A and B are shown apart, each in its own frame.
Chain A
Amino acid sequence: MTGDIVGIPWIVVLIVLPLTGGMACFLFPTISKSLGLIFALAIFTAVVGLGWQLVEQGAQRYAIGGWGASLGIDLYADGLSLLMLVTAALVGLGVSVYSGAYFSREKAKHFWPLWLLLWAALNALFLSADIFNLYVTLELLGLAAVALIALADGADALNSAMRYLLVSLLGSLFYLLGVALLYHSFGSLDIAILAQRMEPTPAVWSAVGLMSAGLLLKTALFPMHFWLPAAHACAPAPVSALLSALVVKASFYILLRLWLEVFALTDTSLGQLLGLLGATAVLWGGIQALRQTRLKLLIAYSTVAQLGYLFLAFPLGTNIAWKGACYMLLSHAIAKAAMFMAAGNILRFCGHDRIADLDRIAQRLPLTLTAFALAGVSIMGLPPSGGFIGKWLLLEASMSAGQWWWAVILILGGLLAAAYFFRVIGYAFTRAGLTHEVGVVPARMEWAALVLALAAILLGFISPAALELMGIGTPFGGERAG
Chain B
Amino acid sequence: MNWETALPLLIVLSSLIPGLIIFFLAEKQVVARITLNMAAALIKLALVGVMLWGVFHGHHYEIRLPFLPGLDLVLRADPLSMLFVTLSASLWLATTVYAIGYLEDSPNRSRFFGFFSLCVTATVGLALAGNLLTFVLFYELLTLTTYPLVVHRGTEVARLAGRKYLIYTVGGGALLLLATVWLYTLAGTLEFTARGFLSGLDAVHYPALIIIFVLLIAGLGVKAALIPFHGWLPQAMVAPAPVSALLHAVAVVKAGAFGIVRVVYDVFGIEFAASLGVTLPLAILASATIIYGSLRALFQDDLKRRLAFSTVSQVSYIVLGVAVAGPIATIGGLVHLVHQGVQKITLFFCAGILAETLGIHKISEMNGVGRRMPWTMAAFTIGAFGMIGAPPLAGFISKWYLGLGALDAGQNWVIFILAASSLLNAAYFLPILYRAWFKAPPASWPDERSFGKRETAWALLAPAVITAALTLGLGLLASMPYSPLEWVRFITEQEYAP
Contacts and interface: CB of A to CB of B under 8 A. Distances in A.
A425 B147 CA distance: 10
B200 interface: no
Contacts of A41: none
Contact of B137 (A320, A383, A400, A426): A383
| Max count, chain B CB within 10 A of own CB: residue among A377, A425, A429 | A429
Given A383-B140, A389-B68, A407-B178, A430 B171 contact: no
Interface stretch (B148-156, B345-353, B426-434, B460-468): B148-156
Interface stretch (A11-19, A193-201, A461-469): A461-469
A377 B69 CA distance: 21
Interface in B138-173: 140-141, 143-144, 147-148, 151, 154-156, 158-159, 162-163, 166, 170-171, 173
B182 interface: yes
B29 interface: no
A382 B140 contact: yes
Interface string A444-482: 000000000000000001011001000000000000000
A374 B248 CA distance: 27
B183 to A, nearest CB: 9
In terms of DSSP, what is the predominant structure of the interface of chain B?
A: helix
Contacts of A400: 185
Contacts of B177: 392, 395, 411, 414
Nearest to A413: B174
A331 to B, nearest CB: 14
Contacts of B159: 426-427, 429-430
| Interface SS of chain A | helix
Contacts, number: 80
A131 B181 CA distance: 38
Contacts of A23: none
Interface residues of B, number: 36
Given A382-B144, A399-B181, A411-B178, A464 B154 contact: no
Interface in B38-84: 65-69
Interface in A327-378: 362-363, 366, 377
A355 to B, nearest CB: 13
A431 interface: yes
Given A383-B141, A395-B177, A464 B68 contact: yes
A422 interface: yes
Given A426-B151, A464-B69, A415 B174 contact: yes
A422 B169 CA distance: 13
Given A422-B163, A429-B159, A467-B69, A384 B171 contact: no
A429 B155 CA distance: 9
B111 to A, nearest CB: 8
Interface string A272-308: 0000000000000000000000000000000000000
Nearest to B174: A411
Contacts of B156: 430
B70 to A, nearest CB: 9
B184 interface: yes
Interface in A373-427: 377, 382-384, 389, 392-393, 395-396, 399-400, 404, 407-408, 411, 414-415, 418, 422, 425-427
Interface residues of A, number: 33
B154 A429 contact: yes
Nearest to A397: B185
Given A382-B173, A415-B170, A392 B178 contact: no
B364 interface: no
Contacts of A362: 111
A461 B72 CA distance: 11
Contacts of A425: 147
Given A383-B137, A426-B159, A467-B69, A431 B170 contact: no
A399 B211 CA distance: 14
Nearest to B175: A411
A395 B173 contact: no
Contacts of B170: 415, 418, 422
B136 interface: yes
B149 to A, nearest CB: 11
Interface in A12-30: none
Interface in B93-118: 108, 111
B80 to A, nearest CB: 22
Contacts of A430: 154-156, 159
B181 A363 contact: no
Interface in B375-392: none
B148 A429 contact: yes
B73 to A, nearest CB: 9
Contact of B108 (A363, A377, A384, A464): A363
A395 B144 contact: no
Contact of B68 (A414, A426, A463): A463
Given A426-B163, A430-B156, A399 B67 contact: no
Contacts of B144: 377, 382
A116 B288 CA distance: 65
B185 A399 contact: yes
Nearest to A418: B170
A264 B69 CA distance: 25
Contacts of B23: 366
Contact of A396 (B137, B148, B163, B184): B184
Nearest to B181: A395
Given A366-B111, A377-B144, A429-B154, 17 more contacts: A382-B143, A395-B177, A395-B181, A399-B182, A407-B178, A415-B174, A418-B170, A422-B147, A422-B170, A427-B159, A429-B148, A429-B151, A429-B158, A429-B159, A429-B162, A431-B154, A463-B67
26 contacts: A382-B143, A383-B136, A383-B141, A389-B68, A392-B68, A395-B181, A399-B181, A404-B182, A407-B178, A408-B178, A418-B170, A422-B163, A422-B170, A427-B159, A429-B154, A429-B158, A429-B159, A430-B155, A461-B65, A463-B67, A463-B68, A463-B69, A464-B67, A464-B68, A464-B69, A467-B69
**Which 3 A-B residue pairings sit nearest by Cβ, starting from the closest?**
A431-B154, A383-B137, A395-B181
Interface of B: 23, 65-69, 108, 111, 136-137, 140-141, 143-144, 147-148, 151, 154-156, 158-159, 162-163, 166, 170-171, 173-175, 177-178, 181-182, 184-185
